[in-house]
Structure 1
């Protein structure tokens, strides 16, 4: 005997509806009363992020979101007061305001007027009018915050980081990309080395300092001293750090991923320091560091053989460097050597012979490789991603 879907228990319907995308979840609610009731079960909407354009008053909006158990909200455009959101969802856990250019310190201040213990993730990236006053409000009322995204908030200064270090003791991830006023002093606040002012964000596990041009090796000394639990550190485009700073980072036993892309003052000597003391690194990005050469690959093989991801795009490495490295790097799954113009088919053959766990390799701009080398690479048993970019084979079997 066949059973029609309308005869299913609401709990079964809710399980089915949970596999639908967000638009279809809303559509099934319009079919009939039974489906509407089933589709509003909180299990259907678990983990869903509501994406909202806040243009005019909608009294039913937030009660509807709360009845479905939605606690993640992304504001795509903000033409109403932020306090409208906070008052409507007092138990919100994740608030994404990325790109809300019209959000100001005054507007955020009016919204955060009381404690919000449930809020764990706040994204203010590219909110360019946000400054230190907002960080004061956040530090005072969002003490349970674990993730704070401030990328592109160019008005943030060291004073704001002092407030963060004072109030956000549970912070695990902080993004300060392109915060141009942040200097060694601010990093000292975060690391708790400024005695008598703030304890610091000592629970940090991920710190992004990309394109913070005022940082020097002193910042890395602060990080190594106070942020011993750090696992991911992004220093890309920080031109003020040098090989001397790598001595400090080498002491960080929990550091797993380090991004040094386009750090012009990092050379083979810096990699030597890392290899001497950071054997737990699983990811290292040295792309566009033009002082990195074959000697770095020898250091990697000697001391960083736990690496699973290595990026060397546009570095001065050759087949000789590959030969020094590959025999020790059996855990490597991702290798990016795009624009390494000294790599030839010999290097690819060495990679294919020894790096048998590779799942992805970037060869974009490697102009000296030919069809012969590529055929060897494509035989790797685990390979899923091969990036050649726009380079095409010619009749002469050479990539140009």
Structure 2
């Protein structure tokens, strides 16, 4: 009895890549020829054959009525194939396809059997390569010719624009009656699979994707996926850190946030295997002591960015070693590192000439001596934050040496005088961002000096400063480039100052007026109407915007 034949659709040519066949033969009976390549039986991670066998078994059962001979009955093994459009029609004798009728050939290694349209025998389904696009296409007509008996004329492919003796090339045609060739995910190049896997999180890569099969395991551990690590699991242990960091010896970025179970020895051992590391962030890990930081400079000499904010265990000795070995350091953030003092900052200034970003917040041990050393040696600094440090008016007088300074934060420095701030900042022509919040000594005369000198100033923060309408008018007259201004909690600002500033600053996009109690609601409503391009921020306006956003998102508000 003749066996039931598969449809001549290219979709059914699964035995060219997978061990499942339409005929009930064991894997050992699969012909080992060029026309029937198969995968190894153990080409799967943790299984005897590919887990995607289930989806192909379904395809074969629907087309041929016969199941997979490999006996894969695991209903959880599911793969989704990727379809690449390709339409193929029957071709004639003149298409130079190596096909032979079963009556005239002794070739026994058939790919599929097919009812011949001319001789009514089972003829071989073979593949031919297009002479133009170089792709392989299956054809079903035997040497006797096609159904019509007419010669197939070359035609131009609607997709690739080349002439093919085939009625449509591998890239596809507009004929919807021809099915697409199915390309499995595992047949994609490793770089393409890695690019797809780059959209997965670390947990999805390690705990899900890498457990599917051997191919996925290798793709999930492609070194390119592990050049940047962001770790923020509070329960992470030292062993977990070592395993993840060890995947790629060329790790370039490592972010460790809120990992409170890690030890100093665990951090040190992990960093010892990262000689190419360029960016290191260790934040809010207060359990770490000096042993976690002392050898960072020796193990990671290429470091360019370091952030140890809110990590109290960083000592002066560790920072000095880092400065001595990491000459490429360009960004250093030490916010709330309570052990850092002038001694280590002076070493950083001397050894790191490429330093551009340096931030402190509430570092009580950072005094005028640190600022003086930075101004003397670190002339490339562009961003400097001294929020709530022990800086006085005498220290900021050295700021004029930082000619490239663009962003300066002098907020919450109660010992600064208005005249010293005005004089120091007036010598910084490149400044575009200035923060003077919570500085009660800042007055209108200081604002006049700043506005007249800093023509590139765009962002100015004056929350809770001692300024009046005259200071705002000075800003409007001289700082036409201002875009963002926050004057919240300035109790002496009235409708006059807010209106004048809105009229004179054509580039203004944001004006913060929270708790400016002398600015009336009527004035705010008029400004919102007259200057729609400016975002005004008051307690009432912000509350209304929040309620409107809640309504748009479907929240039901209780008006009782």
TM-score (norm 1): 0.81
Label 1:349 to 1:184 Cα distance change in 2 as closer, same or farther (>3 A). same
Give the equivalent residue in structure 2 for 1:101. 260
- Mapped pair 1:226 → 2:381: no
Aligned-partner SS, 1:111: helix
Aligned to 1:161: 319
Distance in 1 (alpha carbons) for counterparts of 2:197 and 2:208: 23
1:76 corresponds to 2:232: yes
Q: List aligned pairs for 1:7-26, cutoff 5 A.
A: 7=84
Q: Aligned partners of 2:266, 2:205: CA distance in 1, in Å?
A: 14
2:338 corresponds to which of 175, 180, 190: 180
Residues 341, 63 of structure 1: alpha-carbon distance in 2 compared, 3 angstrom cutoff: farther
Aligned mates of 1:159, 1:53 — CA distance in 2? 39
Q: Are positions 1:139 and 2:297 aligned together?
A: yes
TM-score calculated relative to the size of structure 2: 0.59
2:249 counterpart of 1:90: yes
C-alpha contact 1:294 1:318 (8 A) present in aligned 2: yes
Q: How many residues are treated as equivalent by the alignment?
A: 358
The equivalent of 2:168 in structure 1 is none
Q: 2 CA distance for matches of 1:343 and 1:276?
A: 24
> Can you give the 5+ residue segments of structure 2 that lack an aligned partner in the other structure?
1-81, 87-181, 544-560
In the other structure, the counterpart of 2:30 is none
Query: Highest Rg: 1 or 2?
Result: 2
Cα distance, 1:49 vs. partner?
8.3
Look up the match of 1:294.
444
Which stretch shows the higher mean deviation, 223-232 or 60-69? 60-69
Taking the aligned partners of 2:206 and 2:186, their CA distance within structure 1 comes to 29
Residues 315, 8 of structure 1: alpha-carbon distance in 2 compared, 3 angstrom cutoff: farther
Considering fraction of residues, name the structure with more helix: 1
What's the CA shift for 1:80? 4.4
> 1:32: Cα distance to partner?
8.2
**What is the CA–CA distance in structure 2 between the aligned matches of 1:387 and 1:36, rounded to whole Å?**
56
1:138 to partner: Cα distance: 1.3
Which secondary structure state, in structure 1, belongs to the residue aligned with residue 288 of structure 2? coil
Tell me the secondary structure at the aligned position of residue 293 of structure 2. Answer: helix
Q: 1:392 to 1:232 in 2, by over 3 A?
A: closer
C-alpha contact 1:271 1:299 (8 A) present in aligned 2: no
Counterpart selection for 2:360 from 195, 209, 220: 209
Aligned partners of 2:508 and 2:391: how far apart in 1? 31
Any conservation in 1 of the 2:294–2:317 contact (CA below 8 Å)?
no
Tell me the distance in 2 between the aligned counterparts of 1:283 and 1:361. 15
Distance in 2, matches of 1:56 and 1:180, equals 38
Distance 1:379 1:6, change over 3 A: farther
Match of 1:67 in 2: 222
Cα distance in 2 for residues equivalent to 1:63 and 1:214: 50
Quote the offset at 1:224 in angstroms. 0.5
Structure 1 residue 6, shift from structure 2 partner:
2.9
C-alpha distance in structure 2 between counterparts of 1:175 and 1:331, whole Å: 29
SS of 2:257's partner is: coil
Find the partner of 2:393 among 239, 243, 251. Answer: 243
| Mean Cα deviation higher: 105-114 or 373-382 | 373-382
- The 3-state SS of whatever aligns with 1:97 is strand
TM-fit CA distance, 1:159: 1.2
Q: Return 5+ residue gaps in structure 1 as ranges.
A: 10-30, 193-199, 394-400
Q: Indicate how the Cα distance of structure 1 residues 34 and 166 shifts in structure 2: closer, same or farther if over 3 A, else same.
A: same
Instruction: Return closer, same or farther for 1:342/1:36 CA change in 2, 3 Å cut-off.
Output: farther
2:474 to 324, 327, 330: 324
Are the equivalent residues in 2 in contact too, given 1:54–1:75 (CA < 8 A)?
no
Shift of 1:325: 2.3
Mapped pair 1:123 → 2:281: yes
Question: Using the alignment, how far apart are the partners of 2:204 and 2:83 within structure 1?
Answer: 34
Q: Could you say which residue in structure 1 is the equivalent of 2:500?
A: 350
Counterpart residue number, 1:252: 402
The more displaced of 50-59 and 369-378 is 50-59
CA distance in 2, matches of 1:54, 1:236: 40
Distance 2:384 2:312 in 1: 20
User: Does residue 151 of the first structure (1) align with residue 324 of the second (2)?
Assistant: no
Q: Give SS of 1:153's match.
A: coil
| Structural RMSD (CA) | 3.0
How far apart in 2 are the matches of 1:392 and 1:106? Answer: 48
